[in-house]
Chains A and B, each alone.
Chain A
């Protein structure tokens, strides 16, 4: 076994044992198929989603929560947070609305996670 990981894709949090066999990975302990891809990703290039919130334009604290539509390489977390910090979305905002498309070329979008009407 090369690494012991906790799968973070869902709250079950399977404990994965990852072994490198040639150019492939052997994974034990996963309760679903997603665990296989996660284990390989996590060893080679970990990905994470992130969430934060920003005030709507013209307000100090009418907060719009946001997240990414998928995982990004872990080292992109802080550069993306800096991009999101510049956002001041105009009201009204709908849940799922894209606020930044393809953020920093990562292929994932920043979306609003709540509906806030004017």
Chain B
């Protein structure tokens, strides 16, 4: 049998969304000659083409544009700057030594990459993952799939809708479905605070008088062939439904906006270490994963609330992937960066010992007002960062920069 031909490539980016396209641009701008983006959809941009609302691009393009515009501009930038982008190309497997098995228009093929950037984005959590009891009728959608059906496929998904979860896509869809003549009965959120951005609570719910009920959930779905209603209930501090607070809400559609999960199936195949806190890869300050030459950025690394930040992370990952082609991975001692009090996670989780100018991304666990964010040395207790924040909420990712060189493990915390 003839051995299959292996196509040799420089930087291969898996996923052509806001992070992947930026990663490809970052790699080109850092001097990589051969940069290939593999996108499984037939259109570049990832999830952006269906995000038709405005609010994108403020940081990258210095103006507020819609998702499709952001996607087209970034794709045009990438192609103009010599990135090769292939749509309809699905990566089936990735090995630790960066061999990719790809199914594409030309058929099945093998690609050996000098460096790989993971930019596969995320998936939505489903009804099954949050285990809502009741019947199994038609009319239950994740918010993102509803967005796809309405914005890209011109379908009417129902008449009266209840939304479980106050993630940004759920809030955006509350407004979108109101525009399409649907009646949104209410948004129910398990936590005592909204899970989406404040601006979306205001402009998507309050503008249209859509009720937002916090510390509430859906405890049952009713209906045989089609959703006929849901039963909601208030929850206690341990998120258990409170008996006697059940209320039936008539509706024919239930939308779920209950969280996003980084899509790391390929990362696992490649042996990339994942963090239980983010669901994404464990990375160092160059966004390199535990597998040398494999980098990660965007929503596959951790969930972002703004596409621009996914792109900025992409530029960095691409730049470092290009560097890896030339220099390989840096050896030497490492420090660990861990979350402390009221910090859900912090990225990167590791850095080269002595690195200065570290940029950290983190999210708080619970809303905080007038609190200090600090980074302290685990061994010496030395202060590496200290700043007071007027307002911190879990739905908004924060970025801080540590100017000093970090020569020991540090912990990032938020406290009074």
Contact = CB atoms under 8 A, between A and B. Distances in A.
A80 to B, nearest CB: 10
A52 B178 CA distance: 11
Among A5, A7, A50, max chain B CB count under 10 A is at A50
A15 B198 contact: yes
A74 interface: yes
B68 A113 contact: yes
Contacts of A37: none
B306 interface: yes
A55 B153 CA distance: 9
B377 to A, nearest CB: 30
A61 B260 CA distance: 27
B60 interface: no
A8 interface: yes
Q: Is the interface of B mostly helix, strand, loop or mixed?
A: mixed
Interface string B48-63: 0100111100100000
Interface in B158-216: 176, 179-180, 197-199, 201-203, 207
B391 interface: yes
A67 B66 contact: yes
B353 interface: no
B97 interface: no
B401 to A, nearest CB: 17
Contacts of B152: 53, 61, 63
Among A7, A53, A61, max chain B CB count under 10 A is at A53
Given A11-B305, A48-B207, A63-B152, A113 B65 contact: yes
B64 interface: yes
B41 interface: no
B93 interface: no
Contacts of A52: 52, 176, 179-180
A79 interface: no
B120 to A, nearest CB: 23
B198 A67 contact: no
B66 A11 contact: no
Contact of B202 (A6, A29, A55): A6
B326 interface: no
Contacts of B68: 65, 95, 113-114
B151 A10 contact: no
B158 to A, nearest CB: 18
A43 interface: no
B54 A60 contact: no
B69 to A, nearest CB: 5
A53 B201 CA distance: 22
B396 A13 contact: yes
Among B52, B151, B197, max chain A CB count under 10 A is at B52
A65 B66 contact: yes
Contacts of B65: 113
B197 A60 contact: no
A18 to B, nearest CB: 14
Contacts of A115: 72
B369 to A, nearest CB: 10
21 contacts: A6-B201, A6-B202, A8-B199, A10-B55, A11-B305, A46-B207, A49-B54, A50-B179, A51-B66, A52-B52, A53-B52, A61-B153, A61-B154, A63-B151, A63-B152, A67-B53, A81-B179, A95-B69, A96-B69, A113-B66, A114-B49
> Which 6 residue pairs spanning A and B have beta carbons closest together?
A8-B199, A65-B52, A6-B198, A114-B68, A61-B154, A13-B198
Interface of B: 49, 52-55, 58, 64-66, 68-69, 72, 150-155, 176, 179-180, 197-199, 201-203, 207, 305-306, 390-391, 396
Given A10-B58, A63-B151, A63-B153, 16 more contacts: A6-B198, A6-B201, A9-B64, A10-B199, A11-B197, A13-B198, A15-B198, A48-B207, A50-B179, A51-B54, A53-B150, A53-B154, A65-B151, A67-B66, A74-B207, A113-B52
Interface of A: 5-11, 13, 15, 29, 46, 48-53, 55, 60-61, 63, 65-67, 74, 77, 81, 95-96, 113-115
